[in-house]
Amino acid sequence: MGQHKWAEQAPDEDFFRILTPDGSLVGDAPDLDDATLLGMYRALVLTRAYETHTIRMQRRGELSVTAQSMYEEAVGLGAAAALREGDWCFPSYRQFAAHLYWGVPMDRTLAVLRGGAPETIAEHLPLEKPPGVTFTPYGVILGTNVLNAAGSAMADKLNGRDTVTLAFTGEGSTSEGDFHDALNFAAVFKAPLVVVVHNNQWAISTPAHRQHAAPTFAHKALAHGLPGERVDGNDVLAMYQKTREAVDRARAGGGPTLIEAVTYRVVDHNTSDSAEVYRDQALAEHWKQFDPRPRFEAYLSARGLFSEALREQYEADCLTEVQAAAARALALPRSDPMTMFDSQLQGDPGWHLRLQQRELAAELSGVNPFTSIDPETLA
Amino acid sequence: MNAPTTGTTDLNLVQAVNQALRDELARDPAVRVMGYDIGPIGGVFRATEGLYDAFGGERVIDTPLSENGLIGAAVGMAMRGERPVVEIQFLGFLYNAFGQFVCLMSNVRERSGGQFSVPMTIRTPFGGGIKPLQFHSESTESYLIHTPGVRVVCPSTPAEAKGLLAASIRCDDPVVFLEHSRLYRAFREPVPDAPYVLPLDQARVVREGRDVTVLAWGAMVHTARQAIDEMAVDAELIDLRVLAPLDVKTILDSVRRTGRCVIVHEARRTLGLGAELSALVNEHVFDCLKAPVRRVTAFDVQFPENQTEDFYLPDIRRVRHGIESVLQYKF
């Protein structure tokens, strides 16, 4: 373990907030009905149950690397709840709450993390009901997805549709050129795009102050000529409110918005990371008091929607749901190696792939591909 | 080719490209031509001349100056059902967009198990001979061909360009369409007036012959043709037309008959497409060969300055030397 740990600067608390960490209101609560609020709360409980389970599965060798959003769920949840049916989302790998709020099936997500081919997953886990919001495969090289999201929003603008595209990225990938291309293109074309920078202050081991020298990540909007908001990312109501304003503005033709969601990565970057190597874990402990869940519960409680019994019921239901999804994902047959040739070029994949498919098929049946295939038979 | 026989007009290659773009814009409202300097100015080579006036700024879209922004935005548009046709001003400028090209444009369909397609086309001038500045003369098609999930097309004549570009735009896969800048105004030929498509899976036999197979694409088809004509050799000249995926059958059938193979390309030699073509011949028709495969290429150096580029690019003499070397070869 290295001796040096990065010095860390706590972020400025100069941001938009509706709920204080103790759950009291410091602004007007958004106009959300009881059913929606409870739906959001259930998605929060489900996300935590899902992520807790994925760590266990990963440690048992049942999943590849997984990332968690624990203590940061309000970012994805509040933003995604501001969308409506028919909208599009280009997520990062830390927005499970957004996925789960819109009903992206956990069994499929887990099957992806088990390394299953998408064709196998689609065949064995058919979608009962497609999610109301279309989620693209999450960006692994973050930043690239924001630019594709700008293109998605441009397509809606050019066709006069009132659909909105939401993109998530991390504070680290605001250093990538793709991020700036995205803001620039979206602003120039007044595209209906909302970009959420999930600022959890760590890009694996690189602290936010090594990413940039601007006062805040919301400042990036200024140079590109679009509104920039800085929001308490641990306040689900604040995330909802500011995203909703941005979504409404985009839908009405007012163009894109950048939202910096300020939070803290309490957990490791992913299951392959050990944060204690490079940072003082006392600060992570400190940030646990800003957990978005108790303050949302306090708000629901004040509205007469919350009780310990409700939480216990949700937790029990969600655990059952997660376990059932995990069982379905684990029951999936291993992907046929031949599926690697699927979803390449449409129609004839060409001579090379036709030959190589036959070579793999020969290997799979224990035959020497180099002596058993006559290339002259490849029409 | 399935071109109609009625009505032709003599066009050069850039005019043929313009006509194909015009036809496809008129045929399909999802087609959007995008790039910088493509609107009122009509492109630095004038490939999009008149299209902005005819179709307006929402179909012929001038964008900010960013290749990466263009490719990445076009990928997102294509995922939403548009059919973007992006102009990259020179192939050497595509490097700035390499991440979006490799990780998204050619990858989204496979990664999503076919849920999302990217039916977009990148048009870009390439190749040497017009003596501009650095990065305006690249023949780095190998960077593109090495990437799975993308088609790479390269026409050698105006009539070929029109039909292959229409086919590329209509294709549901991502396509890179390489237009040799030296050919843009090199010559005219009769081009059918009506829209037509040419196949994206067939090489073109330019000239039949018995003694040696010569493989080329783009401007090198013409250099090779001139060398063959000067030598009065009975060579079979094949214009690959599509560099990925390759029409291997046409190539191997030809070399099986001639027993000799010369590959001519403007790209650098090491890992140029000639390396793959040579390997294919050696792997699959070795027992028909009367001589080792010869690659006639540029050298493994940066594209040189204007005064020395003629010595870098394969010319008629270098092609002749290549053909002579295989014809004279004795085991």
* ipTM summary value: 0.95
Say what percent of chain A tops pLDDT 70. 97
| Residues of chain A positioned with their CB less than 8 A from the CB of B248 | 351-352, 378
pLDDT, averaged in runs of 10, over chain B (331 residues)? 73 98 98 97 96 98 98 98 97 96 96 96 95 89 97 98 98 98 97 97 98 98 98 97 98 98 98 98 96 98 94 98 97 87
Please state the pTM of the whole predicted model: 0.96
d(CA A248, CA B35): 30
Among residues A134, A131, A117, A92, which one has the least CA distance to residue B110? A117
Q: Which of A155, A177, A375 sits opposite B284 (nearest CB)?
A: A375
Closest Cα to residue B294, out of B216, B242, B241, B218? Answer: B216
Contact B176, B130 (CB under 8 A): no
Please give the pLDDT value at position B331: 87
Domains of chain A (ranges plus CATH)? 34-331 (3.40.50.970), 337-377 (no CATH)
Helices A236-251, A292-302: crossing angle, 10 deg rounding: 80
Q: What is the CA radius of gyration of chain A?
A: 23
Tens digit of pLDDT for each residue in A340-373? 999 999 988 999 999 999 999 999 999 999 999 9
From chain A residues 49-68, the ones with a CB under 8 A of any chain B CB are none
Half-sphere exposure of B177 (CA within 13 A, CB side): 28
B31 has which bridge partners? B83
Provide the CB-side half-sphere exposure for A318 (13 A, CA).
24
- Cβ-Cβ contacts under 8 Å, A154 against chain B: 73, 76-77
Cis before B40? omega within 30: no
Among the four given CATH numbers 3.40.50.920, 3.40.50.1820, 3.40.50.800, 1.10.10.10, the one describing domain B204-328: 3.40.50.920
> By the 8 A CB rule, do B160 and B204 touch?
yes
Summarize pLDDT for A38-64 with one digit per residue, the tens: 999 999 999 999 999 999 999 999 998
Residue B328, classified by CB atoms within 10 Å of its CB into exposed (0-12), middle (13-18) or buried (19+), is exposed
Task: Tell me what pLDDT residue B3 has.
Answer: 53
Mean pLDDT on A324-343: 97
Instruction: Give residue B100's pLDDT.
Output: 97
* Contacts by residues A268-275 (CB-CB < 8 Å, ≥ 24 positions apart): A268/A68, A269/A67, A269/A202, A269/A204, A269/A205, A270/A65, A270/A66, A270/A67, A270/A68, A271/A55, A271/A58, A271/A59, A271/A65, A271/A66, A271/A67, A272/A65, A273/A204, A275/A202, A275/A205
> Over the stretch A58-100, which tens digit does the pLDDT of each residue have?
999 999 888 999 999 999 999 999 999 999 999 998 999 999 9
Q: Using a CB-CB distance cutoff of 8 angstroms, which residues of chain B are in contact with residue A182?
A: 69, 72-73
Sheet holding B151-153, edge to edge: B60-62, B31-35, B83-87, B121-126, B175-180, B151-153, B242-244
With an 8 Å Cβ cutoff, are A136 and B75 in contact? no
**CA within 13 Å, CB half, A67:** 16
Measure B129 CA to nearest chain A CA, in Å.
32
Residue of chain A nearest B251, judged by CA positions: A351
Q: How many angstroms from the chain centroid is the CA of residue B175?
A: 10
From the number of C-beta atoms within 10 Å of its C-beta (0-12, 13-18, 19+), residue B52 rates as: buried
Whether A156 has a pLDDT exceeding 60, the answer reads: yes
What residues of B are in contact with residue A141 (Cβ under 8 Å)? Answer: 99, 103
SS3 A298: helix
CA dist B116 and B80 (Å) reads: 8
Chain A interface disruption, residue of B32, B102, B110, most A CBs within 10 A? B110
Distance (Å, rounded) from C-alpha A193 to C-alpha A224?
A: 13
Write the class of the CATH domain B8-192: alpha beta
| Shortest Cα distance, chain A CAs vs residue B235, angstroms | 23
pLDDT at site A283: 87
Cα-Cα-Cα-Cα dihedral sign, residues B302, B308, B313, B319: negative
Looking at residue A369, its pLDDT comes to: 95
Distances (CA, A) of B66 to A176, A190, A353: 14, 17, 34
Q: What distance in Å separates the CA atoms of residue B159 and residue B154, rounded to the nearest whole number?
A: 12
Q: What is the total residue count of chain B? A: 331
CA closest to A88 among chain B residues: B80
Cα–Cα distance, A336 to A340 (Å, whole number): 8
Nearest-CA neighbor of B37 among B77, B115, B103, B90? B90
Active site members of A: 265, 269, 278
Q: How confident is the model at residue A290 (pLDDT cuts 50, 70, 90)?
A: very high
Domain residue extents for chain B: 8-192, 204-328
Tokens representing residue A171 in the block? 């504070």
What pLDDT digit, counting tens, does each position of A204-244 carry? 999 999 999 999 999 999 999 999 999 999 999 999 999 99
Contacts of A215 (CB under 8 A, 6+ apart): A12
Cα–Cα nearest to A135, from A182, A197, A54, A80: A80
For residue A213 the two structure tokens come to 């020298």
Q: Which amino acid is at A350?
A: G
Map B270-291 to HEC letters: CCCHHHHHHHHHHHHCHHHCCC
Locate B301 and state its tokens: 């150096």
**Catalytic residue list contains B284:** no
Binned at pLDDT 50, 70 and 90, residue A11 comes out as low
Q: Are B244 and A349 in contact (CB under 8 A)?
A: no
Mean per-residue pLDDT over chain A, rounded: 94
**pLDDT at residue number A1:** 41
Whole-angstrom distance, CA of residue B321 vs CA of residue B13: 29
Strands (E), chain A: 88-90, 134-135, 165-170, 193-199, 202-203, 206-207, 228-232, 257-262
Write out chain B residues lying below 8 Å of A144, CB-based: 72, 99-100, 103-104
Report helix angle A106-113 to A34-59, nearest 10: 30
Closest residue in chain B to residue A191, using alpha carbons only? B73
pLDDT band for position A376 (cuts 50, 70, 90): confident
> Quick check: B225 and B206 in contact, CB under 8 A?
yes
SS3 A19: strand
Same fold, B8-192 and B204-328: yes
| Alpha-carbon distance values, B199 to A226, A373, B179 (Å) | 45, 27, 17
Among B308, B277, B317, B309, CA closest to B295: B277
Number of Cβ pairs < 8 A linking chain A and chain B: 139
